[in-house]
Amino acid sequence: MALRPSRILTTVTTTSDLKGITAIRLEALADGALPSNGPGRAVNGNFVVNRFVVTAAPKSDPAKSQPVTIKSATATFEQQGYPAASAFAAVPGSGWAIVPETGKTQAAIFTLASPIGFEGGTILTFTLDHQFGSQHVLGKFRLSVTTDPKASLATGSPGAPAHIMEILKVAADKRTAEQKAKLGEYYRSISPELAADRGKLETLRQLVGPYAEIARLEAILTTNNQQLDAERTEWEKPALSGGWLAVEISEAKGAKGTTLTRESDGSLIAAGENPPTDIYTITAKASVKQITAVRLEALPDDRLPASGPGRGANGNFILTSFKLKVARPTTKPIDVEFASARADYEQTGHGVAGALDDKEQTGWELPRILAARSRPSSSPRLRSIVKVRSSRSPWSTFPSSRNTRSGAFAFG
């Protein structure tokens, strides 16, 4: 039985290559495995985050860590006397809590006093202090950051207006000239690369200043160019997909006779021979740069034993090793070192980190009660090794617990 501490100080350290981070989102995630469906571990599903502290340091010099100043906080729900703002203000005897709105996912956004992010990457350390007692601690949560100056509480929302989202849903080669123009105009209004020019233009307008400079800046902000088109293309993919980008699979095979077939949703389904052990090798392309993590989803399917997601008789699996090589078209593959691994569900003694230690006796396995349920009724569908899909909102989500049964492997 997992320990349920009465009080706990939780520290999460991660990295981000984003510059100009404006806000942090803390999601408290409901889950059927928690008391009263959570998201806290108290008997009524509540929690109290008494203190929320953030520090930042350059990747190149971790010793130069400095505190991050938070200026305000909002939340989807705040218990009377326990607002989200009291967490960063460290108000004695208070903190963020959510009674009576437990049993469902809640979120808080902490807006920063000024944007953060170092050249070359940033090490972010989050401290969540739970000192209320009686197991009022978070049971499942997720941390995200954004560069959006108008950060929204909408969970999973890419933050674009509704009419822009409708355009994004249309395939790029099917968009009308009007749709392309509207999309380009919107992106120019939010592009971080043009932020300084937008600010300068607004200042000159207020001063009714040098008209030639105004005309030059207006031309920059109303004209497309190849660099902006390329940047917008990269922005479109995560804006529509919710954060993860699926890789383009070119080859997938099992070493001992398993047949891996690519499905229309980008997943792989295993069929044919069902040996006691097997090694899956998957070759794929990724169009994005600065990849920081890989997500592996294990998906249920009625074609698998007990509806999967594994091929064991009870629908389970054990992933004993997960390795990655990368290469450009003209270079030899090199091994990628993972810094950590996390999963939303794992069996005691068989955590996802065991897939990285090169030991055949360890590996990722689902809790038996989850593997035995072919169609979970009160939680999102399971995701596992047999149907494999790896995929990357203006929210850049760190590899922590998710609303699906998945494992995230973070790079060093």
Residue 138, beta-bridge partner list: 40
pTM: 0.43
Q: Would you tell me how many other CB atoms lie within 10 Å of the CB of residue 28?
A: 28
68-72, 202-206, 259-263: segment of lowest average pLDDT: 202-206
Distances (CA, A) of 121 to 105, 143, 198: 30, 17, 25
How far is it, in rounded angstroms, from Cα 295 to Cα 191? 27
Counted residue by residue, the chain has a size of 412
CA–CA separation, 26 vs 32, rounded Å? 19
Q: What is the mean pLDDT of residues 383-407?
A: 39
Q: What is the pLDDT of residues 326-351, one digit of tens each?
A: 988 788 889 999 889 998 888 888 89
Q: Which position has the higher pLDDT, 370 or 35?
A: 35
Of the chain, the percentage scoring pLDDT greater than 90 comes to: 50
Q: 199-211 b/e with 16+ CB inside 10 Å = b?
A: eebeebeeeeeee
Q: Which residue ranges make up each domain of the chain?
A: 8-146, 162-239, 248-411
The pLDDT assigned to 243 comes to: 65
- CA atoms of 244 and 133, how far apart (whole Å): 36
In the numeric block, which tokens belong to residue 329? 């078209």
Of 9, 16, 7, nearest to 411 by C-alpha is 16
- Class of the CATH-defined domain 8-146: mainly beta
State the CB neighbour count (10 A cutoff) for residue 247: 21
Task: Write down the pLDDT at residue 37.
Answer: 94
Q: What pLDDT score was predicted for residue 272?
A: 93
Residue 279's pLDDT is what? Answer: 94
Residue 59 reports pLDDT greater than 50: yes
Instruction: Say whether pLDDT at 324 is over 90.
Output: yes
From residue 384, how far is each of 255, 269, 281, 302 by CA, in Å?
19, 11, 16, 14
Report the pLDDT value the prediction gives residue 29, as an integer from 0 to 100: 94
Q: Using CB atoms within 10 Å of the CB of residue 315, give its burial: 0 to 12 exposed, 13 to 18 middle, 19+ buried.
A: buried
Q: Please, how many CA atoms are within 13 Å of residue 311, restricted to the half-sphere of its CB?
A: 18
Residue 390's pLDDT band, with cuts at 50, 70 and 90, is very low
Give per-residue pLDDT as tens, 105-138: 999 999 999 999 999 999 999 999 999 989 999 9
Task: Please check the confidence at residue 397 and state whether its pLDDT lies above 50.
Answer: no
Contact residues for 405 (Cβ-Cβ < 8 A; gap 6+): 297, 298, 309, 343, 344, 345, 366, 370, 380, 381, 382, 383, 384
Alpha-carbon torsion, ordered 198, 200, 202, 207, to 10 deg: -170
132/135 Cα distance (integer angstroms) = 8
The predicted pLDDT at position 276 comes to: 93
- What residue type is 356 in one-letter code? L
User: What pLDDT is attached to residue 288?
Assistant: 73
Query: Helices 211-222 and 195-207, interaxial angle, to 10°?
Result: 140
What is the C-alpha separation between 412 and 410, in angstroms, rounded?
A: 7
Give the pLDDT score at 367.
Answer: 74
Structure tokens at 19: 């510059």
